[in-house]
Protein backbone atom coordinates (compact mmCIF):
# COMPACT_ATOMS: atom_id res chain seq x y z
CA UNK A 1 0.00 0.00 0.00
CA UNK A 2 1.21 3.54 -0.69
CA UNK A 3 2.47 5.54 2.30
CA UNK A 4 3.39 9.19 2.80
CA UNK A 5 5.73 10.45 5.51
CA UNK A 6 4.72 13.66 7.25
CA UNK A 7 6.51 15.57 9.94
CA UNK A 8 4.70 15.87 13.21
CA UNK A 9 2.46 17.64 14.09
CA UNK A 10 1.06 17.46 10.56
CA UNK A 11 0.41 13.71 10.65
CA UNK A 12 -1.54 14.22 13.89
CA UNK A 13 -3.45 17.21 12.50
CA UNK A 14 -4.58 15.14 9.50
CA UNK A 15 -5.64 12.18 11.64
CA UNK A 16 -7.58 14.47 13.98
CA UNK A 17 -9.43 15.97 10.99
CA UNK A 18 -8.05 19.50 11.47
CA UNK A 19 -5.79 19.49 8.39
CA UNK A 20 -7.56 18.62 5.17
CA UNK A 21 -4.88 19.58 2.62
CA UNK A 22 -1.23 18.48 2.75
CA UNK A 23 1.14 20.88 1.01
CA UNK A 24 4.01 19.60 -1.12
CA UNK A 25 6.48 21.11 -3.57
CA UNK A 26 5.78 18.29 -6.03
CA UNK A 27 2.71 16.95 -7.79
CA UNK A 28 1.41 13.39 -7.98
CA UNK A 29 -0.98 11.47 -10.20
CA UNK A 30 -1.72 9.07 -7.34
CA UNK A 31 -5.29 8.99 -6.03
CA UNK A 32 -6.65 6.60 -3.45
CA UNK A 33 -6.07 5.23 0.02
CA UNK A 34 -2.63 5.74 1.55
CA UNK A 35 -0.92 5.22 4.90
CA UNK A 36 0.05 8.14 7.10
CA UNK A 37 3.59 7.81 8.45
CA UNK A 38 5.03 10.16 11.07
CA UNK A 39 8.61 11.10 10.21
CA UNK A 40 11.36 10.43 12.69
CA UNK A 41 12.16 14.15 13.12
CA UNK A 42 9.28 16.52 13.99
CA UNK A 43 8.97 20.14 12.92
CA UNK A 44 9.85 21.83 16.23
CA UNK A 45 8.42 25.22 15.28
CA UNK A 46 5.07 23.72 14.24
CA UNK A 47 4.96 21.53 17.36
CA UNK A 48 5.08 24.75 19.44
CA UNK A 49 2.68 26.62 17.16
CA UNK A 50 0.00 23.92 17.49
CA UNK A 51 0.69 23.31 21.20
CA UNK A 52 2.04 19.75 20.99
CA UNK A 53 4.80 18.53 23.26
CA UNK A 54 5.15 14.84 22.44
CA UNK A 55 3.79 12.91 19.47
CA UNK A 56 4.73 9.53 18.01
CA UNK A 57 7.59 9.58 15.49
CA UNK A 58 8.61 6.81 13.10
CA UNK A 59 5.25 5.01 12.95
CA UNK A 60 2.44 4.31 10.51
CA UNK A 61 -0.36 6.00 12.45
CA UNK A 62 -3.35 5.59 10.16
CA UNK A 63 -4.72 5.99 6.67
CA UNK A 64 -6.65 8.44 4.52
CA UNK A 65 -7.82 8.98 0.95
CA UNK A 66 -6.08 11.35 -1.47
CA UNK A 67 -8.91 12.54 -3.68
CA UNK A 68 -7.37 15.44 -5.60
CA UNK A 69 -4.38 17.77 -5.95
CA UNK A 70 -5.00 21.50 -5.92
CA UNK A 71 -2.40 23.67 -7.66
CA UNK A 72 -2.05 27.06 -5.94
CA UNK A 73 -1.29 29.68 -8.57
CA UNK A 74 -1.07 32.72 -6.28
CA UNK A 75 -0.40 33.67 -2.66
CA UNK A 76 -4.00 34.90 -2.44
CA UNK A 77 -5.35 31.50 -3.51
CA UNK A 78 -3.02 29.81 -1.04
CA UNK A 79 -4.16 32.12 1.77
CA UNK A 80 -7.84 31.40 1.06
CA UNK A 81 -7.27 27.74 2.04
CA UNK A 82 -5.12 28.49 5.11
CA UNK A 83 -7.71 26.91 7.44
CA UNK A 84 -7.49 23.68 5.38
CA UNK A 85 -3.70 23.29 5.06
CA UNK A 86 -2.62 25.19 8.22
CA UNK A 87 0.70 26.29 6.70
CA UNK A 88 2.37 28.99 4.64
CA UNK A 89 3.37 28.83 1.00
CA UNK A 90 6.97 27.83 1.82
CA UNK A 91 5.67 24.24 2.25
CA UNK A 92 4.66 24.09 -1.40
CA UNK A 93 2.02 25.01 -3.95
CA UNK A 94 0.55 21.54 -4.53
CA UNK A 95 -2.27 20.80 -2.10
CA UNK A 96 -3.06 17.11 -1.63
CA UNK A 97 -6.78 17.07 -0.77
CA UNK A 98 -7.37 14.46 1.93
CA UNK A 99 -10.61 12.80 3.05
CA UNK A 100 -11.60 10.04 5.47
CA UNK A 101 -8.64 10.02 7.87
CA UNK A 102 -8.64 6.97 10.15
CA UNK A 103 -6.28 6.43 13.09
CA UNK A 104 -5.00 2.92 13.74
CA UNK A 105 -5.46 1.52 17.27
CA UNK A 106 -1.91 0.17 17.18
CA UNK A 107 0.78 2.27 15.45
CA UNK A 108 3.21 0.28 13.29
CA UNK A 109 6.94 1.07 13.49
CA UNK A 110 8.34 2.01 10.07
CA UNK A 111 11.16 3.92 8.46
CA UNK A 112 9.90 6.61 6.14
CA UNK A 113 10.96 7.64 2.66
CA UNK A 114 10.51 10.60 0.36
CA UNK A 115 7.46 10.93 -1.90
CA UNK A 116 4.89 8.13 -1.86
CA UNK A 117 6.47 4.78 -0.99
CA UNK A 118 5.24 1.22 -0.62
CA UNK A 119 4.59 -0.43 2.75
CA UNK A 120 3.14 -3.89 3.23
CA UNK A 121 0.49 -4.09 5.93
CA UNK A 122 0.52 -7.50 7.59
Parallel, antiparallel or unpaired: strands 32-38 and 2-6: parallel
d(CA 100, CA 17): 8
pLDDT tens per residue across span 5-22: 999 999 999 999 999 999
Q: What is the pLDDT of residue 90?
A: 86
Q: What is the pLDDT of residue 28?
A: 97
Q: Who wins on pLDDT, 88 or 105? A: 105
d(CA 65, CA 86): 19
Q: Answer whether 2's CB lies under 8 Å from 34's CB.
A: yes
* Domain boundaries, given as residue ranges, for the chain: 2-113
pLDDT tens per residue across span 57-91: 999 999 999 999 999 999 999 999 999 999 888 88
Q: What is the pLDDT of residue 47?
A: 95
2-113: what fold?
2.30.130
C-alpha dist (Å) from residue 121 to 29, 53, 66, 118: 22, 29, 18, 10
Amino acid sequence: MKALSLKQPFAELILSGKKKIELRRWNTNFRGKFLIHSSKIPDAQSMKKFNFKDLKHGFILGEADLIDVKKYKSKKEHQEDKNLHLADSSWGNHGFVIKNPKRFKHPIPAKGKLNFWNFELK
